[in-house]
Structure 1
Amino acid sequence: MRRSVVAAAVFAFAVGLLSPVLAPPATARAAQVIRVDDLNATRSALFIDSPAMGRTIQVQVLHPAGGGARSSYYLLDGLDPGASQSTWTNATDAEPFFRGKNVNVVLPMGGQASYYTDWAADDPRFGRYRWETFLTQELPPIIDDYFAGNGVNAIGGLSMGGVAAFVLAVRHPELYRAVAGYSACPDLTIAQGAILFSIANRGGNPFNMWGGPGDGAWASHNPALLTERLRGKTIYLSTGTGLPGPHELEIKPQLPENIFFGGPIELGVNACVNSFAAHLKDMNIPAQVDYSPVGTHSWSYWQDTLHESWPTIGPAIGA
């Protein structure tokens, strides 16, 4: 089985080199909200016609029940996000945790193996991915308009979403005051092989994202090379060590590799977080880094670190 996955990755790489399918640029038409479903008093689902993506994208928002302006926390999912709700609300207590807090928590739906970025080419498996444009240009005005956003934002995510959060923060430093990565590797040089493999393992062509390993697009997205753009922001990172901890027997809607390979995956994340934290220190850029002596790459630990991160992220955006 492992050989077949590797073979699929190699095949995808080869196809990417031979026949990239270039996507046309996004139109200048503004994104439009076509429907709003109020799921309860503090949770709503927006269905947004995205010109960049060429389809309707669902975004759920956790928000205060009352009025008044508030900041927004864009919270990104992992490699296999939920189609009808974010795994943050499905696998953690994010909804009750944020209830009563004066913040919009913005949860995009979909984007499997997308890394929430603008892909260089349309993909036969995933179609058109223009997540960076959607998240940084199309979505913020809608959130501010519909949910009294005051223009003060933070962005965070776990695993794939945490990588994306740091990428978006260095590419759009004016948009975010704080950035958080839960079990995420912000150094694309270290993470490159894992990123390419993860996309191919989900049936996509990884070269359709930023090209091959030597393509300059990787450098233009790499937080480890663009770290100066993080200066002045509030930064939070967390990692376990891969050793079993108190949550290993809990049943969560997590992927098989989280269950069987969560230890080795988190061990790799730990090495990357240590390296990136040292890089930040060398540049005299402060960061809050939570190191746990145990913990695998799984949802119960991300619930823990979501709680632990809020005293850092919340005050940074006045929430």
Structure 2
Amino acid sequence: MKNLKLTAVAILFFSVSFTLKASVDTVSTYSKVMNKEIKAVVITPDSYNSNQEYPVVYLLHGYSGNYASWIKSAPQIEALANQYEMILVTPDGNFDSWYWDSPVDPRSKYETYFTEELIPFIDQNYSTKSSKEGRAITGLSMGGHGALYLAIRHQDIFGVAGSQSGGVDIGPFPENWNMKSYLGSRAEFPERWKEYSVMGQLHLLSRNNLPLVIHCGTGDFFYQVNLKLHEELTYLNIPHSFTSNPGGHTWDYWRESVQYQLLFFHNYFESATAK
């Protein structure tokens, strides 16, 4: 294991394994837009080599989590990366950013960071399928919101997206999870709260352009907003996969859900390659 100093979007530091075994590396990128270093975990499969291009799945953490939450709490994702021969990236979205470019706090520009800094770095430094047909995004809770929000707004970047127990409609939660620090209060900025919600982005979707897979447990406090999203997508005639089954807002649920979502993405990547 060696430490290499590279220049991509900015000065970037990361650890690279030179064996063909599965690798779980920590990447630290310098974000110019936020003027700070931001970490991510990158998991490459056993088969990884520079002569083959691999699809990439971005897994976003939830509120109060960080870049290491997925590998610590759902370590089976390493085996899934091997099984499906895909690269998994679990980036840091700060513990409460909701993956927005905040209109209130200029220090929180996570939409720009993800789309203009992190993804180009991954494509430049790993052997990836760098088109949208080789790129997926999903996440849990706050990260489920972030995954759909980013994918819907950047359909030129992401070919497929998912959400696990996502906070897909923020309107019912005006005092929760520090969101008003990034958006202002809902009472003062009601239209902004609609716009910065996944529900406020559905007009950007068109039929068969962005496959979606959405999971939420029936015992989850986000269940009703996920059901509302499913009903609205159905009304708009937007194809999607929606699963509501027993479960709460827990890692037990997400550890099971991620297996199905990665299979969904694998099938998408296979069909996109076959076209």
Question: TM range, normalised to the smaller chain?
Answer: 0.7 to 0.9
TM-score, scaled relative to structure 2: 0.83
1:226 aligns with 2:201: yes
Name which of 90, 108, 118 aligns with 1:129: 108
Check whether the contact 2:80–2:262 (CA below 8 A) recurs between aligned residues.
no
Matches within 5 A, 1:1-40: 31-38=9-16
**Higher CA-based Rg:** 1
- Residue-by-residue CA offset, 1:104-145 (whole Å, 9 max, x unaligned): 21111351011111122338xxxx221111101111111111
Tell me which protein shows more helix as a share of its residues.
1
Aligned-partner residue type, residue 74 of structure 1: Y
Aligned-partner residue type, residue 198 of structure 2: P
In the alignment, what sits opposite 2:226?
Answer: 273
- Residue-by-residue CA offset, 1:233-255 (whole Å, 9 max, x unaligned): 1111111122xxxxxxxxxxxxx
How many residue pairs get matched? 251
Q: Percent identity?
A: 24
SS at match of 1:45: strand
Check whether the contact 1:234–1:312 (CA below 8 A) recurs between aligned residues.
no
Shift of 1:30: 6.6
1:296 aligns with 2:248: yes
In the alignment, what sits opposite 1:59?
Answer: 40
Matches within 5 A, 1:1-319: 31-38=9-16, 41-65=22-46, 66-67=48-49, 68-82=52-66, 85-92=67-74, 93-109=76-92, 111-122=94-105, 128-151=107-130, 152-190=134-172, 192-193=173-174, 196-199=175-178, 206-213=179-186, 214-231=189-206, 232-242=209-219, 266=220, 268-292=221-245, 294-318=246-270
TM-score, scaled relative to structure 1: 0.73
Shift of 1:90: 0.5
Query: Relative contact order, CA 8 A, sep 6+: which one is greater?
Result: 1
Structure 2 unaligned blocks of 5 or more: 1-6
- Residue-by-residue CA offset, 1:52-105 (whole Å, 9 max, x unaligned): 1211111111112422112211110011113xx521111112222222422221
- Residue-by-residue CA offset, 1:203-256 (whole Å, 9 max, x unaligned): xxx4331222125433333322321323321111111122xxxxxxxxxxxxxx
SS at match of 2:137: strand
Counterpart-to-counterpart distance in 1, 2:191 and 2:239: 28
Check whether the contact 1:178–1:313 (CA below 8 A) recurs between aligned residues.
yes
Calculate the aligned-residue CA RMSD, in Å: 2.2
SS at match of 1:219: helix
Counterpart-to-counterpart distance in 2, 1:185 and 1:115: 9
In terms of mean alpha carbon deviation, does 105-114 or 278-287 score higher? 105-114
Aligned-partner residue type, residue 295 of structure 1: G
SS at match of 2:108: coil
